[in-house]
Amino acid sequence: MYRCLSNEVLATLGEYRGVAEALFPADGFSPGPGLQAVADFAKALGTGSEYQRLFALKKDEESVRVFLGHFQNNLDLLIQKTWVEKADVARKEKLQDEIPPLIALIERGDFLQAIEKFGTVLDELAYLFFGTQSAKEDFTEYTFRIDPQIGLFWWYGSQLGGLKGKNGALSDEALWAVLLIGLCYLTNF
């Protein structure tokens, strides 16, 4: 898998592996690793400071609403600036239509549904960025070869589906923490 990666990248992947396994252990995410694992993951993605600042706020504070506006604006820009074949233009427009309902779920505090919707958004965004490669089994490996941090982000996105069956098992705080990682990353992408 890693035969064409430099020693520096391999060392980085080793560091990321520890952070990733603390957040999403093989037996599934649980409240056990605590919120420190989430904060460490955000730091590995390069968004630790913003994540910490936003996580410390109440979810209904004006600063969080402003952040969500920045998230939506940046995601809209990413979608608009993505070059696609003519046949996929409708797909871009449909994805842009998915963002306001995602924001509404977050503002309502329905974090499990928001994570599910966010996972769908990430799947579509991956398609817009990477085309059919995003549907291949080795997609995460492919993104790690592009950039380890980008690979870590898309790996994170692939793990979100494992939270679906956790209804009631995870606190809103834990769900918000996991969702906020991705929101911060895409806001600063």
Q: Establish if 94 belongs to a structural domain.
A: yes
Q: How confident is the model at residue 163 (pLDDT cuts 50, 70, 90)?
A: confident
pLDDT above 60 for 43: yes
Q: Establish if 144 belongs to a structural domain.
A: yes
DSSP string, 78-136: HHHH----GGGHHHHHHHHHHHHHHHHHHHHT-HHHHHHHHHHHHHHHHHHHHGGGGGS
Q: Establish if 119 belongs to a structural domain.
A: yes
Q: Establish if 1 belongs to a structural domain.
A: no
pLDDT above 70 for 168: no
Q: Establish if 2 belongs to a structural domain.
A: no
Q: What is the pLDDT of residues 49-67, one digit of tens each?
A: 999 999 999 888 899 999 9
Question: What does the alpha-carbon distance between residue 179 and residue 160 come to, in Å, rounded to a whole number?
Answer: 9
Q: Establish if 55 belongs to a structural domain.
A: yes
- Structurally, the chain folds into a number of domains equal to 1
Confidence (pLDDT) at 103: 96
Q: Establish if 179 belongs to a structural domain.
A: yes
User: In angstroms, what CA-CA distances link 107 with 60, 73, 87, 102?
Assistant: 7, 16, 33, 9
Domain span including residue 15:
7-24+33-187
Which tokens hold the place of 188? 């600063």
Long-range CB pairs of 84-90, under 8 A, 24+ apart, other chains included:
84/128, 88/127, 88/128
The closest alpha carbon to 103, from 90, 91, 118, belongs to: 118
